[in-house]
Structure 1
Amino acid sequence: MSKRTERAAKEQRPPVPSPLPVPIADSHCHLDIVAGWGWDTDRTSVVEPTHPDVARELDDAHAAGVARVVQVGIDVPSSEWAVALAEHDSRVVAAVALHPNDAPKLDDLDGALAEIEKLAQRPRVRALGETGMDYYRTDETGRAQQERSFRAHIAMAKQYDKTLVIHDRDAHDDVLRILAEEGAPDRVVLHCFSGDAVFARECGRRGYFMSFAGNVTFGNASMLREAVAVCPEELLLVETDAPFMAPVPWRGRKNGPFLVGETVRFLANHLDRDLESLCATVDANTTTAFGDW
């Protein structure tokens, strides 16, 4: 296959899967990037929350049995976008935050945090996130500011009774340490869970939700499959993190909320669970984590 043919294949949108037996939610997605990143363009364009491409993504998700989504911000503009979409479309609730890789780059971190705090008080905002710690893309020079941002988001989540959505990459011990030092909010979600079974057991002991993305289906993800096997049933969530990490058999394609069911089907097989029962459990857990839509 030529590179041009291979690229064309990757740009083809996967078909909408058959609907799940019980509707579920995508607990973490970035529809602003999904809709703004066309099949034959880069992802520099930003569409309005009312753009037809955004509605199409939500309609396709609904057709696949994904009735609800959590739209997640990573900076002030994308957080404002998330709130606008949630206020426009009842299928969506918002999470707002400064991403841990972006926080160290800000000249006015306090000013950005103040804007996030304003957004956090809006009724359709259910979470502060994604925040956290990332030692893969942020080196030691930026980690103090990253940690300061994380602590500020924890404080806001507690003050406004919002769920805390954590981005944790290569920083498991420090994430747990900071949560213990600050005192964790009532609801904590480890987004795109990336730890092993030992870390999963500790998160379960602390009552933290673990959200698994499409990468759990990848052939090289045995560690994640071991982790999900020990995740307490009542703490299991699923997500796309769209447009990233489309599940097998669509790995390498642009992901969307309509594909989260492929991850659930994989997990039902891996965990030897009835699909309908697993969907009902995941949906109930999402409501516990983020409230009713």
Structure 2
Amino acid sequence: MLIDAHAHLDDSKYEQDRHEMLMRAKERGVTHIVNVGYDLPSSKRSIQLAEEYEFIFAAVGVHPHDVKEAPPDILDRLKDLVIHPKVVAIGEIGLDYYRDLSPRELQQERFRKQIELAIEVGLPIIVHDREAHGDTMAILKEYEGRVAGVLHCFSGSWDMARECINMGYYISFAGPVTFNNANKLREVAAKVPLHRLLVETDAPYLTPEPHRGKRNESAYVYYVAERIAQLRNIPVEELAHAAAENTLRLFSKMNGTV
């Protein structure tokens, strides 16, 4: 049992073979996929994909890269989307200071507003954090105890991961944990308590070894789970099962659906 806790399978890179790619995931044992929006159009596409495939679920939100282009009424529009039964989270939302494609103050404002929306509608959040660890943690602390969520494609330190876990968040790992130069990330993946760990692909990005350099897909979440299981010296089946249970616990609207 495998769950890909974060993917973007509505991406145009899958236009020619999306169904075949999804069937490969099912054959690999993937039972659920959370397809994550990054702006209003992709959020709507995520819902459409979830309507087409019973094992796909949607998250809706605006990525920090895209907040400057979002319409003024974006929160109202997202609120209209979350009533869909297959929308399981608000995301991905957060801060990205690596590319700074949106002004940092606007990123922070929209991050807070989307967290507040998640609290209002009772959904967890999917947090994007790239080279913005300090401000991300400061904002999450403002809402500590009021919202559940996951730090997706985690890239911080063990101290940061431990602090997030203490606030009730889950930590999700993607393809980079398999990269040869990812020693610090592997150290974190080995230490995160098993009941707080998720696995994902972030497909079509961050393809894990041994397929690095090619388009990512949900079937490859197996390689993420396999590498973390090796680090922890446990069977991959045990790691995959624990991560799947954690994902279903976090995204509770998925329970009993597949």
The alpha carbon displacement at 1:176 in A equals: 1.5
What TM-score, normalized to structure 2?
A: 0.94
Note if 1:203 corresponds to 2:167: no
Describe the superposition over 1:185-244 as per-residue Cα deviations: whole angstroms up to 9, x where unpaired.
442100100111111111122121011001111011111111112211111000000001
Alignment correspondent of 1:92: 56
Note if 1:154 corresponds to 2:115: yes
Any conservation in 2 of the 1:28–1:72 contact (CA below 8 Å)?
Answer: yes
The alpha carbon displacement at 1:184 in A equals: 5.1
One of 123, 126, 129 as aligned partner of 1:168: 129
Which amino acid in structure 1 is aligned with residue 34 of structure 2? V
Consecutive unaligned residues of structure 1, counting only runs of 5 or more, are: 1-22, 39-46
CA distance in 1, matches of 2:204, 2:173: 15
Alignment correspondent of 2:93: 131
Any conservation in 2 of the 1:98–1:113 contact (CA below 8 Å)?
Answer: no
CA distance in 2, matches of 1:162, 1:73: 15
The alpha carbon displacement at 1:72 in A equals: 0.5
Alignment correspondent of 2:4: 26
What value does the CA root-mean-square deviation take over the aligned residues? 1.6
Alignment correspondent of 2:234: 273
Which amino acid in structure 1 is aligned with residue 124 of structure 2? T
The alignment of Structure 1 onto Structure 2 pairs a total of residues equal to: 254
One of 32, 41, 61 as aligned partner of 1:68: 32
Moved more, 179-188 or 91-100: 179-188
Find the residue that maps to 2:4 and give its secondary structure: strand
One of 37, 62, 77 as aligned partner of 2:13: 37
Change (3 A) 1:176 1:184: farther
Structure 1 runs, 4 residues or longer, greater than 2 Å off: 52-55, 182-186
Alignment correspondent of 1:103: 67
Question: Larger C-alpha radius of gyration, 1 or 2?
Answer: 1
Which amino acid in structure 1 is aligned with residue 154 of structure 2? F
CA distance in 1, matches of 2:36, 2:174: 14
The alpha carbon displacement at 1:138 in A equals: 1.1
Find the residue that maps to 2:89 and give its secondary structure: strand
Q: Determine what percentage of the aligned residue pairs are the same residue.
A: 39
Describe the superposition over 1:57-111 as per-residue Cα deviations: whole angstroms up to 9, x where unpaired.
22110001111100000110000000111122110110000111110244x3x32
Find the residue that maps to 1:101 and give its secondary structure: helix
CA distance in 2, matches of 1:173, 1:185: 20
